[in-house]
Amino acid sequence: MNASKGMIRVKDPITLLKLITRFIDRQIGVTHVAILLHDKKQDAYVLIDSKGEGGVKIPVGYVKIPSDNPIVSFFLFPNNGAFARKESLVYSELEHIQNFEILVNKKGERAIHYEDIRKHMNYFRASVCVPSFYKRELLGVLMLGDKLSGEGYHDEEIKLFVTLANDVAMAVKNAELFKDLKTALEKEHRLFIHTSIALATAIDARDRYTHGHSERVSHYSLVIVKELIDSGKMAYDREFMETVQLSALLHDVGKIGIRDQILNKPAKLTEEEFEIMKSHVTIGATIVKPVKGLTHLEDGILYHHERFDGKGYPQGLKGEDIPIIGRIVNVADSYDTITTARSYKSSMPAEGAFDELKKCSGTQFDPEIVGAFYDAYKKGKISKREYTGFDFTRLH
């Protein structure tokens, strides 16, 4: 019962099977225990794990039996008459089973089948083989050596292993389904990320001065977050890291709805044109809001032009009322704008850019965000691209 309850907590099939072999080895008292799991690609049953002193002395993964092996056939094929899908194979009972079949079927040549079974059970030094079925699918075979006590296996003990094998089959299938679902979600997620990159690149390409802008803002935003984490001002959160990266990457996605005449105007925008330009934050937030799985993705898009003193747009939020992702992207975006040449201005070196950020700290920018970014700069982290990858688990 304890083993069965513990199975549902394990999401990896191989890990689960290794835990089962370890459990039996420690608790039951047998010379060895082994589990063979069906590999669909090879159409064979592969040795996943083996515990104890009396098992096969071959590395795990190198031992496999094909699907037409006599042991497998005994459990699967209906041409075994009354013994099709028998719940277990007990070595000491093979002769009785063999003689019974000869008697019932009147065909002595069928005894050859049991000689093959005996030969393979000898190879694995298996006293008992128990199938692990999920519906009609034989997922694996549990093999047990002799009992350390030297006694034979009782019917109640065999029934225990049969129950355990059935629970294992259910747990393995659930683990496989979970793994398949996780793989599918990861593929979908990677597709979304690459689509986001392509979209950001396409937006940047509308203006030759903003080439690479979105990627740089995303990188700077992650540098800021990592510095906040390292300094103890923020707890590590993988989902938050990814949300920051994608929010920053797509912070200007709303510019897809702004006319080129306004977006690329070399002169100062009129008041009416500036109002149109400001709408890119709400357009962008509307585009990404339906995205599931990443909470607050729109925060960096909608609020990256809010000011710490409340004089920004679109809502005029002030101080910590501005979502932190918006405050982070605001600093990262402004730094890149200052250090990049545009049609209306020349670029400024990093030190000068940080002087500007610090000068506007407390008015336009969150002082804590500016401080963290400057600390990261002094440590040489801005020039590195180690935070640009999508596997945030390695940042912990």
- Residue with the larger pLDDT of the pair 277 and 113: 277
Average pLDDT value for the chain: 82
pLDDT tens-digit map of 37-63: 888 888 899 988 888 776 655 566 678
Q: Work out the pLDDT band at 391, boundaries 50, 70, 90.
A: very low
Q: What is the dihedral of CA 386, 214, 254, 289, to 10 degrees?
A: 0
Measured CA to CA, the distance from residue 343 to residue 152 in angstroms comes to 88
DSSP 320-340: GGS-HHHHHHHHHHHHHHHHS
pLDDT of residue 234: 93
Measured CA to CA, the distance from residue 382 to residue 385 in angstroms comes to 8
27 to each of 90, 150, 341, how far by Cα in Å? 20, 16, 71
Q: Work out the pLDDT band at 85, boundaries 50, 70, 90.
A: very low
Point out the least confidently predicted range of 10-14, 117-121, 201-205, 319-323: 10-14
DSSP 63-83: -EEETTSHHHHHHH-GGGGGG
Measured CA to CA, the distance from residue 348 to residue 365 in angstroms comes to 19
Checking if the pLDDT of 388 tops 60, the result is no
Checking if the pLDDT of 304 tops 50, the result is yes
Q: What's the fold here for domain 191-395?
A: Hypothetical protein af1432 (1.10.3210)
Which of 26-35, 135-144, 373-382 has the highest average model confidence (pLDDT)?
Answer: 373-382
DSSP summary character for residue 318: -
Q: Given CA atoms 363, 369, 375, 377 in this order, what sign does their dihedral have? A: negative
pLDDT of residue 80: 43
Checking if the pLDDT of 393 tops 60, the result is no
Q: What's the fold here for domain 2-177?
A: Beta-Lactamase (3.30.450)
What ranges do the domains of the chain cover?
A: 2-177, 191-395
- Residue with the larger pLDDT of the pair 258 and 24: 258
Please choose, from the candidates 225, 285, 214, the residue with its C-alpha nearest in 3D space to the C-alpha of residue 254. 285
Please choose, from the candidates 152, 155, 166, 20, the residue with its C-alpha nearest in 3D space to the C-alpha of residue 91. 152
The percent helix, strand, coil of the chain (3-state, each to 5) is 55, 10, 35
Contacts of 178 (CB under 8 A, 6+ apart): 11
pLDDT tens-digit map of 320-332: 999 999 999 999 9
Q: Work out the pLDDT band at 167, boundaries 50, 70, 90.
A: confident
Point out the least confidently predicted range of 44-48, 107-111, 258-262, 384-388: 107-111
pLDDT of residue 19: 81
The one-letter code for the residue type at 186 is: E
